[in-house]
Amino acid sequence: MIYVDNAATTALKPEVLDKMMPYLTSQYGNPSSIYDLGRQAKAAIEQARASVASVLGANANEVYFTGSGSEADNWAIKGMAHAAKGKHIITSAIEHHAVLHCFEYLAKNGFDVTYLPVDSHGIVNPDDLKAAIKPETGLISIMAANNEIGTIQPISQLAKIAHEGKIPFHTDAVQAFGHIPFNVSDLGVDAASVSAHKLGGPKGVGVLYIKRGTRIGQFMHGGAQEYGRRASTENVAGIVGFGHAAALAADGMEEKIKKVSSLRDSFITQVLNEIPKCRLNGHSKQRLPGNVNISFDYIEGESLLLLLDMKGIAASSGSACTSGSLDPSHVLLALGLPHETAHGSLRVSFSENNTMQEVDKIVKELVPIVARLREMSPLTE
């Protein structure tokens, strides 16, 4: 199998599993317990917190473990919106559903929401943010990098604009963290969501970075875990895995970016050269190292995926159809793509585990599959 759906999830790194294993077996103590077995679990959590904090450029006491990236987004957005004085909140049109659906929920519950547009490459214009700010704006949330089209937003510029209006700024950094330099101090954000399983860590563990002094309500009520702000007996093994995966991701990042982007660029060049009537979605340079998103005229993304799957290639369509909805992707529509084009998209997301041989093999399979589907398509001119 060739796995090129690393934006959906990544393979757990074997070294990460090794570090987790004791906490799934002999080291089963509850971190809140006072005897040695509990204290050891607590110490392992604190070591993981320090590790994630160091990669984020945060203080350890600003790092809160959650059950996922989605939970971190929910906590940040609902918690910060409810703690704000004003009832106007701002996000972008291309956010992950974990963010977008929180804003839709808040819109139904008394908040006034502005969805910032993006340009045809998928970038938010800082001037649009400036123009959208009102005296009653209480929260701005804009993702660091997009999961479908890989565009990287000008986060430090956007955060600076937010702070000029004394408005807190959250970013969904799930796709950025561990893949490109992402430092909360350099960027000047007040809150950031990240997730372990997108960077070689386990599923079911995320982090919300909350800068000290940021106003945010509580999301989980219960015990005193996570400085009394996120109740639940800790997912010790998951947290330990996250700490280790974050450190591994940060180690030699420049080299990995070079390697992964060369796979991406080779794939893009070959596909655009060998297949007529297709276009690259997203920005040519402000783009995640592993992300490719291409629309093919006259084709349904789902048929493409099925035929690739039959060749042992695991990729994704740019559209939301696979998740049970027939609506094309809100991200591709926000770029201004017509519905038909948005339906015919393919997302390929590489990791450092992929090779140039795999890139060539995918192109070799893709060319005749696209030709065959076009022959069958009633849309073909």
Catalytically active residues, by annotation: 321
Is the Cβ of residue 63 or residue 174 nearer to ligand PLP in the bound state? 174
Q: Are 94 and 122 in contact (CB under 8 A)?
A: yes
Which residue of 68, 141, 153, 214 would you call a contact of ligand PLP, by CB under 6 A?
A: 68
Long-range CB contacts for residues 300-304, cutoff 8 Å, separation at least 24: 300/343, 300/344, 300/373, 300/377, 301/343, 301/344, 301/345, 301/346, 303/373, 304/344, 304/346, 304/369, 304/370, 304/373
Q: What is the edge-to-edge ordering of all strands in the sheet holding 137-141?
A: 63-66, 206-210, 191-195, 169-172, 137-141, 88-92, 112-116
The nearest distance, CB 290 to ligand PLP, in angstroms, is 12
Mark residues 163-182: x for contact with ligand PLP by CB under 6 A, - for none.
---------x-xx-------
| Distance of closest approach, residue 39 Cβ to ligand PLP, in angstroms | 29
Decide if residue 318 touches ligand PLP (CB under 6 A): no
Q: Which residue is nearest to ligand PLP (CB)?
A: 69
Does residue 69 bind ligand PLP (CB under 6 A)?
A: yes
Residue 84 DSSP symbol: S
Considering only 10, 195, 214, 225, the residue that binds ligand PLP (CB under 6 A) is: 195
Q: How far apart are the first and last CA of the chain?
A: 34
**Distance of closest approach, residue 89 Cβ to ligand PLP, in angstroms:** 18
Handedness of CA 212, 216, 218, 220 (dihedral sign): negative
Q: State both tokens at 101.
A: 């659906």
Binds ligand PLP by CB under 6 A, chosen from 88, 96, 211, 343 = 96
Does 329 bind ligand PLP (CB under 6 A)? Our answer is no
Give the Cα separation of 209 and 285 in Å (integer): 28
Among 29, 168, 202, 206, binds ligand PLP (CB under 6 A): 206
Where does this chain touch ligand PLP (CB under 6 A) — which range of 45-53, 191-199, 228-236, 347-355? 191-199
d(Cα 6, Cα 136) in Å, to the nearest integer? 39
Q: Which of residues 88, 198, 256, 259 is near ligand PLP by CB under 6 A?
A: 198
Residue number with CB closer to ligand PLP (62 or 172): 172
Residue 71, both tokens: 């939970």
Report the half-sphere exposure of 296 (CA within 13 A, side-chain side).
28
**φ and ψ at residue 230, rounded to 5 degrees:** -145, 90
The minimum distance between CB 371 and ligand PLP, in angstroms, equals 32
**Beta carbon nearer to ligand PLP, 198 or 347:** 198
Cβ closest to ligand PLP, residue 51 vs residue 68: 68
Shortest approach of ligand PLP to residue 40 CB, angstroms?
27
* Closest approach of ligand PLP to the CB of residue 76, in Å: 11
Q: Which of 51, 74, 147, 225 binds ligand PLP (CB under 6 A)?
A: 147
Determine, following the binding rule CB under 6 A, whether residue 142 of this chain makes contact with ligand PLP: no
Show the DSSP H helices in the chain as ranges: 14-24, 36-56, 69-83, 97-107, 126-132, 155-164, 184-187, 225-228, 236-250, 253-274, 301-310, 330-334, 339-343, 356-376
Q: Which residues bind ligand PLP (CB under 6 A)?
A: 68-70, 73, 96, 98, 143, 147, 172, 174-175, 195, 197-198, 206
